[in-house]
Amino acid sequence: MKTVAEFNIRYQQLLDDAGQPTGPLPDFARDPAQLHEMYRVMTLCRLFDTKAINLQRTGKLGTYAPCTGHEATHVGVGAAMQDADVLCPVYREYGTQLWRGVTLAEIFIYWGGDERGTNFAGPREDFPWCVPIASQCPHAAGAAMAFKLRGEPRCAVAYIGDGGTSQGAFYEAMNLAGAHALPVVFVIVNNGWAISIPVGEQTAAQTLAQKAIAAGIPGVQVDGNDVIGVREVMQAALARARAGEGPTVVEALTYRLSDHTTADDATRYRPAGELEAAWQREPLLRLRRYMESLDCWDEGRERALREDCTAQIDAAVLAYQANPKASTDSMFDHLFATLPAHLVEQRETARRYAVGHG
């Protein structure tokens, strides 16, 4: 029997766990201004996460999906994208969204149960948060097909979790993208756990990046706690897509340092030692150590950054709390040109319920 095809999956890490370079770095990694901006958004995400969880615990926000531990992946992806590109997120990619112009108040408004939070002030064509698992992947492939048909030098980026790669929609989107060489990048955030299910119980695949092979497209793995490595891999994948060479799957290896959502209790299924070890590899500490080694970061700058981020978050909380409450009619708006009779009935029922409950 002869071998008809062979494949390999490349792995990239440019900063190790201690924040030390593992080899030559790209130019942006030696520019203090760019490092500071990536670290700023990562810190803003971390502090925002803490505030959002506190608001939820005190009944001032709905169920919330934390992003602690994912900051390097999210910001690295955002920093690599161009403004004209389109993002198709899942439901916790706040770092990418903040980089692209989504406001803190909009994130609060959405998780407060108000869809007006998805009416982004910045990236008007980015897709809203997607709670159904993997349905954002065909959306991204469809947007990418539109870009290709129009001859526009734009790319779509779709996020997917490790558990989401077990969904049929993920494979269908990859197949479409590969068959038509679409300008799309699928980013798998492999944080080790699909709620309570570890990766090893979801798939026998050695990597998730290798799932791209079946669709005839490249797959690459990157240290998702290394913001420089993520940005470099994404820049290459997006340049490839923009040049008409088709899609890429990027698997970012990271760790979820919090619960899946505020409705979850990860201590029930996750070993404590595993979490403690992950905190030693966390992305903010890694980038900070690297900047300190360049003498472009210190305790004074850290303190000032945290104070500034806290002020921004506090202002966003006030804006969220001052946002006029949406009427129950908003659930039925923008669905049909003429609302069907059964939805008219439901709208009237909702109005009566709202009056009775203030």
First to last CA, the chain: 74
Catalytic annotation, pick one of 269, 303, 352, 353: 269
H/E stretch holding 193 = strand 193-194
Cβ(64)–Cβ(84) below 8 Å: no
Tokens of 64: 């919330």
Residue 314 sits at φ, ψ, to 5 deg, of: -60, -40
Is 26 strand, coil or helix?
coil
Residue 332 sits at φ, ψ, to 5 deg, of: -110, -10
Is residue 260 part of the annotated active site? The answer reads: yes
- Cβ neighbours, 10 Å, residue 180: 16
Tell me the C-alpha to C-alpha distance, in Å, between residue 199 and each of 60, 202, 250, 322.
33, 5, 16, 42
Is residue 11 part of the annotated active site? The answer reads: no
Tokens of 302: 């850290």
Cβ(36)–Cβ(23) below 8 Å: no
Tokens of 271: 């070993």
Catalytic annotation, pick one of 92, 256, 281, 286: 256
Is residue 269 part of the annotated active site? The answer reads: yes
CA 212/CA 250 separation, integer angstroms: 9
Question: Beta partners for 184?
Answer: 156
Active site residues: 256, 260, 269
